[in-house]
Amino acid sequence: MTENATIDNDCSGAGLLKAQDAAVELFQLAALLLGNESDALSLVEQTVSQAEIDPCAQADVATGLVRRQLVGAAVARMKQASPQAFLAPPASDAQHVTCIDGDDLSAAGITPAELAEMISGAGRDEMRAWLEQLPLAQRAIFIQRAVLGWDNSETAATLGETSGWQPQQVSEVFRQALCSLATSLVHSAAAQRVAV
């Protein structure tokens, strides 16, 4: 009986720590998407209150489901605020050339670790300022593809195929965001060299 109680306590303690880490991650994700910390907090509270999660049973699966619900709700709020921003670009517009050849983070010369540092480390303010200047759909695509590592199909589904988003259009818009980020990083590095 005591052994089972210890297992239950360990499970709930570890589960609580995982839940706290997940809540922080969800808040950061919502803040990146919405660009407003009070809106992000409200969205996380709403999403978590609607989710039924057992912290001891498949925590990673539960966290993934809540993350998807949060992103879907954030994109819905963004669409509600600016429906025109989420209309998929016409196929002819999506075919123009960008400065990035591939549609993954490494094509912009950034590793996932560097991106994580830019999001939550020393470059946090610059990254948030850069994200805020992106068109809303481009911001949502960048966060889903670069931060979460979702593919073009998953991201198109979140944006809404009823809005006309297809995986190829997501890829092209993501490449545009990567090009913008690479350009921003080059300018930031040049400004730092001049300041020194």
Q: Three-state SS across the chain?
A: CHHHHHHHHHHHHHHHHHHHHHHHHHHHHHHHHHCCHHHHHHHHHHHHHHCCCCCCCCHHHHHHHHHHHHHHHHHHHHHHHCHHHHCCCCCCHHHCCCCCCCCCHHHHCCCHHHHHHHHHCCCHHHHHHHHHHCCHHHHHHHHHHHHCCCCHHHHHHHHCHHHCCCHHHHHHHHHHHHHHHHHHHHHHHHHHHHHC
The whole-number pLDDT of residue 2 equals 38
Same domain for 127 and 163, yes or no, is yes
Q: Which of 20-29, 86-95, 184-193 has the highest mean pLDDT?
A: 20-29
pLDDT digit string (tens) for 97-123? Answer: 567 667 777 777 788 888 888 888 877
Share of the chain above pLDDT 70, in %: 74
Same domain for 72 and 152, yes or no, is no
More confident residue, 192 or 164: 164
- pTM, two decimals, is 0.81
Domain boundary among 27, 62, 81: 81
Where in the sequence is the domain holding 148, given as residue range(s)? 83-196
Same domain for 166 and 108, yes or no, is yes
Domain count, the chain: 2
